[in-house]
Structure 1
Amino acid sequence: MTRKAVAAALVVGIVLFALGMATTTGAQVMKNDALNAKQQGIVTIAAFTAKGDLDKLKGALNEGLDGGLTVNEIKEILVQLYAYAGFPRSLNGLATFMAVMDEREKRGIKDDLGREASPLPADRSRRELGEEIQTRLVGAPVKGRVMEFAPAIDAFLKAHLFGDIFGRDNLDFQSREIATISALASMQGVDAQLQSHLNVGLNVGLSAAQLRGLISVLETKVGRDEADNADTVLNRTLSGRDK
């Protein structure tokens, strides 16, 4: 091959490579556009809290505040996650958030506090409220052998998780499900629960495109393995709903 031909081939290769990069980047942006800045902030905050990666959580908390999440919304996400990732990681997340808030205050940043949750309804018990919310989210009353085997877990899920926590109205159901899905996607061995909450996410109005966008955020900011597994579980979830 002549020197001119080699040079021409190199130019073509560079152009094709650049076009490929542009196409990939464009696709990535389109996927992420399915979630707004606040929702993308929830993904990374929940994921890094569940993983216990406090260094990356610190960055995610700053990005979440800069993207429009209020202080009370982030507190609510971190509190809710104790039900999925455990008290230690929830408490570590809250301590990290306190440190972030102190640093931002020293830099003169005034973050929006946001509103507190309203009192829970007084006309029904926490269990009644939780069962109503759980049924609405899942689409049918929740029963199963595990609930029969250990009735206490059924009572705790209904009264505490769905009554005390999901019953708080300063974070909407879509945001709560984005947080839950992102946390579960960042943990190992919980695919059954991840699939369940992907279904709930769809039930509360999240679109398949938004869930793909969530996975795209996981891929770019959390990890390829987490994103690949979540994508597999989402495909299984969507296939099951089509039948």
Structure 2
Amino acid sequence: MTASILRALRYRETRSIAAFLALCLGLGDVPGVVAQESVAPSTPANTAPPSEALSSRQQAIPLIAAFMASGDIPRLNQALNQGLDAGLTISEAKEILVQLYAYAGFPRSLNALGELMKVVDARKARGIQDVTGREPSRPAPTGQELVEVGTVNQTRISGGAVKSPVFDFAPVINQYLQAHLFGDIFERDNLDWQSRELATVGALAATPGAEPQLRSHMLASMRVGLSAGQLRQVTEILAKHADEAVATRASAALTQALAASGS
């Protein structure tokens, strides 16, 4: 555990909240999943304090993710242009599309990255010089250190150490979660955690059948510093620019997450 987590005020969540937080692992409504121990909510170092409005850059992220996850390449093209116009760097755009392979699969991720290449080249041909951005500031840890770092990140995002009979039945799935998703991916600091959650929410909203995970990531979004007002804005942006079903799923998930968190 990091010193900040060890110093955090520990308390017990109710059973319903604990189960909800456990969904942050992507397990959905799996019986027996509980957060054994919760920590007081904190804002990770690589996120900004809560605000009531998304920046122009942030507004583009859920749309990029939603169109990537649904395979809507023409509208993905528009969303990528919107994001780059709003100040999203090329590195950040790439990172969003790479991360989302974990939710939408390698084929859609690869197709979206190919489209980003076309967008960047087309903009360059028009004389637009987009900011390249930066790569992660440090190499990813390996071995046991990677697992330990991933476990810390997992705990901060889910609100507590999560245990489940599923992990006893198939221990490798939690090893992948801790080492790869929360380790390899979330340790890459060229994209902040709020942007990562905005991308995840957009992708899951565009994925029928992923409603439990979408609800959990609405809650995770608040845990990493996004406000209820910003998440309502996400639902409004999806209602305006994406399909009605996508916006409906996002709105319902936010309502349920707010109820579960007591907001």
Q: Same fold judged by TM-score > 0.5?
A: yes
In structure 2, distance between residues paired with 1:97 and 1:144 = 39
- Within the alignment, does 1:153 sit opposite 2:193 as a pair? no
Letter in structure 1 aligned against 2:188: R
Q: Which has the higher contact order (CA 8 A, sep 6+)?
A: 2
Q: How far 1:122 moved relative to its partner?
A: 4.9
Paired residue for 1:115? Answer: 134
- Within the alignment, does 1:92 sit opposite 2:111 as a pair? yes
Paired residue for 1:195? Answer: 215
Letter in structure 1 aligned against 2:261: R
- The correspondence for 2:234, drawn from 214, 218, 223, is 214
Number of aligned residues: 211
Matched position secondary structure for 2:152: helix
The structure that has the greater radius of gyration is 1
Letter in structure 1 aligned against 2:206: S
Letter in structure 2 aligned against 1:176: R
String of CA shifts for 1:155-175, please: whole Å, max 9, x gaps. Answer: 001100110001100111111
Matched position secondary structure for 2:53: coil
Letter in structure 1 aligned against 2:184: D
- Unpaired segments of 5 or more residues in structure 2? 1-51
In structure 2, distance between residues paired with 1:161 and 1:212 = 26
Which has the larger share of helix? 1
- Within the alignment, does 1:76 sit opposite 2:99 as a pair? no
Paired residue for 1:51? Answer: 70
Matched position secondary structure for 1:142: strand
String of CA shifts for 1:195-220, please: whole Å, max 9, x gaps. Answer: 11111101011111110000111100
In structure 2, distance between residues paired with 1:209 and 1:157 = 29
Asked if structure 2 preserves the Cα contact closer than 8 Å seen for 1:120 and 1:167, the reply is no
Q: How far 1:102 moved relative to its partner?
A: 1.1
In structure 2, distance between residues paired with 1:221 and 1:90 = 21
Paired residue for 2:53? Answer: 34
- Within the alignment, does 1:134 sit opposite 2:151 as a pair? no
Matched position secondary structure for 2:134: coil
What TM-score does the superposition give when structure 2 sets the normalisation length? 0.77
Q: How far 1:142 moved relative to its partner?
A: 1.9
Over the residues paired in the alignment, what is the CA RMSD in angstroms? 1.5
- Within the alignment, does 1:163 sit opposite 2:188 as a pair? no
Which has the larger share of strand? 2
Q: How far 1:130 moved relative to its partner?
A: 0.6
Q: How far 1:146 moved relative to its partner?
A: 2.2
String of CA shifts for 1:98-148, please: whole Å, max 9, x gaps. Answer: 011111111111000111112246596211111110101111012222222
In structure 2, distance between residues paired with 1:226 and 1:148 = 34
User: What is the aligned-residue identity percentage?
Assistant: 51
What TM-score does the superposition give when structure 1 sets the normalisation length? 0.84
- Unpaired segments of 5 or more residues in structure 1? 1-32
Matched position secondary structure for 1:210: helix
In structure 2, distance between residues paired with 1:178 and 1:148 = 31
Q: How far 1:37 moved relative to its partner?
A: 0.5
